[in-house]
Chains A and B, each alone.
Chain A
């Protein structure tokens, strides 16, 4: 069925740097997706409930404060607890290379670091949505 991909763009944690999240939100919209933007200071619980209510295909999170190791996996775990298994979870921000394998192991399927082209993110999502 031809329907727009729905993406939740969220900023977990407390950092207020939303330039990247906003640019991505716009790029996804311009690629024909429906973007649910939830703004700053979202707890993992809020992100998961929003993802469920909005029935999104993708949860895209951005963190620049260094709290990713704690917050990204927490979102994935809460989604699993709720029985959600068809949502693609991706993350972006200032994330050291060393952390990426662990994050992927935890279920964040792709990590985009600074310098990523929005086109790559769009393509990645189109290729990897689960339904």
Chain B
């Protein structure tokens, strides 16, 4: 990108500067630290110059927004055309309460819903399962059957909204319920828009809400890909998530590497199931974390886009540009929030918001300041949303596309993250792919090591966390927090009991039997799950039948 002679001059000047200026200064005023590192422990030099990106070929490595390799963004006009979607993830104890909240949000002009489910729902247990005790309605809405789903979306026209559902292991069941509700509203499947997270691999790696072993899970996922490509073509069938991997303690490089390695596994599974890459790849989307090291994070997003584009083109020979675009949702890093001096978290979230926006995110959830204490209060949620709005409307960073491009540091770091992530992906390929690397515990171990290292750096004071290991104050307890009424659990169980009395139980038996039979074949299970859901078989019953056939995943732990 630079003239050879000019580069030589710059190199020479840099040597002179180091010798004459820097060393002289350091001899009198040493630098603060021996070595400087990014938030993820990548080496940071004192100064970056054209020398650091001498091989950068603009057209090959950066290109133009909306064009391969999409380093600078996936749309030609980015935020000049439309701002990112501000999508706050929220869940309330019961379907009734959530429904009220969704209607309120829609009245306020929001067009997208984001549904959080409680843990029993995410793991395929009904509210009356012994393991559900104490968990019903805690981190999201409890859904036991189509009945709850009907209440959840009552009066909400499903042809007018797009709905994002954070659901993984039982994604096919919840998607089937959504389709069934739509049908009752007279809305054809073909017009439904939304996203299911549906990313089981990161559940094994980091988030923990898995049910079935990898092989069966991958089958359910490819069943969804196939079914939706024909029946629900506007649905985003997966959101391949690095967010939770990062939350578990991964570095920025690991976040990119392991997420894209998971992505590769899904693409391979779908191709193996007989799908054409350009039929499903455009419906793949990603979900990343935004951490505190602003510049490293921006480089991370850019590196991820470029790397994925290369993988799709070179490894999978995708033809459609849409298959090569890495579109992603971002959430600010929950793990960086401190319970100490929680208002400081607003500042952290602001930095993280900037990182996501400068990195070209398609949508964003900002965390609330009090999430290290409990579920956020309404006021905290509002401040979090306002943070996005201030960045969008006041900061000016939205007015031009990819404004940090061309920075010697950013470009050099983008290269570095891409290269190191690629090394990880090669290593995972050697191990036989992401699934094998998860089963052997390799990926988990890498993350745990990083997490432990991070914690030890905080404890040794090598890493400063304001309010935690420096600048502490005596604090009063934080009282103003949201609680979930424990009554919810009882109510939900009662509803379940009533349902089991009033539905056609013979029909339920039949559809479950059929599902079990088909689970033992290689047929696509989506139609049978849809039948089961419509007969008001519960989530727990449907997953129970599949558990019988597929067995359950056992954690792979190497500590």
Contact = CB atoms under 8 A, between A and B. Distances in A.
Given A26-B448, A96-B373, 10 more contacts: A14-B120, A14-B122, A14-B132, A15-B135, A19-B247, A22-B451, A69-B486, A97-B373, A115-B468, A119-B459
Contacts of A70: 133-134, 486
Contact of B555 (A15, A26, A40): A40
Interface stretch (B235-243, B396-404, B473-481): B473-481
Contact of B478 (A18, A22, A43, A96): A96
Contacts of A118: 455, 459
A29 B448 CA distance: 14
Contacts of A29: 559
B451 to A, nearest CB: 5
Contacts of A17: 207-208, 247-248
A43 B131 CA distance: 7
A123 to B, nearest CB: 12
Interface of B: 119-120, 122-123, 125, 130-135, 138-139, 203, 206-210, 247-249, 335, 337-340, 371-375, 448, 451-452, 455, 458-459, 465, 468-469, 477-479, 481, 483-484, 486, 555, 557, 559
Contact of A25 (B122, B133, B335, B559): B559
Contacts of B375: 66
Interface string A8-43: 000001111111001101110100000001011101
A65 B478 contact: no
Give the top 3 A-B pairs by smallest Cβ distance, nearest first. A16-B208, A70-B134, A97-B477
B139 A15 contact: yes
Contact of B559 (A14, A22, A67): A22
A37 B119 contact: no
A81 interface: no
A13 B489 CA distance: 14
Contacts of B123: 14, 41
B241 to A, nearest CB: 13
Contacts of A65: 119, 135, 138-139
A94 B477 CA distance: 14
A94 B368 CA distance: 14
Dominant secondary structure at the A interface: loop
Contacts of B559: 22, 25-26, 29, 37
A117 interface: yes
Given A37-B559, A70-B133, A94 B373 contact: yes
Interface of A: 13-19, 22-23, 25-27, 29, 37, 39-41, 43, 65-67, 69-71, 74, 94, 96-98, 113-115, 117-119
A94 B125 CA distance: 23
B245 to A, nearest CB: 11
A15 B469 CA distance: 28
Contact of A15 (B119, B339, B340): B119
Contacts of A98: 477, 479, 481
Nearest to A98: B479
Among A14, A19, A41, A114, chain B packs the most CB atoms within 10 A around the CB of A14
B217 to A, nearest CB: 15
Nearest to B119: A14
Contact of A19 (B203, B451, B479): B451
Nearest to B136: A67
A115 B373 CA distance: 11
A16 B209 contact: yes
Contacts of B339: 113-115
B135 A14 contact: yes
13 contacts: A14-B122, A16-B207, A19-B247, A26-B559, A27-B452, A40-B555, A41-B131, A65-B135, A66-B375, A71-B133, A74-B134, A113-B339, A117-B459
Contact of B372 (A25, A27, A94): A94
A85 to B, nearest CB: 24
Contacts of A26: 448, 452, 559
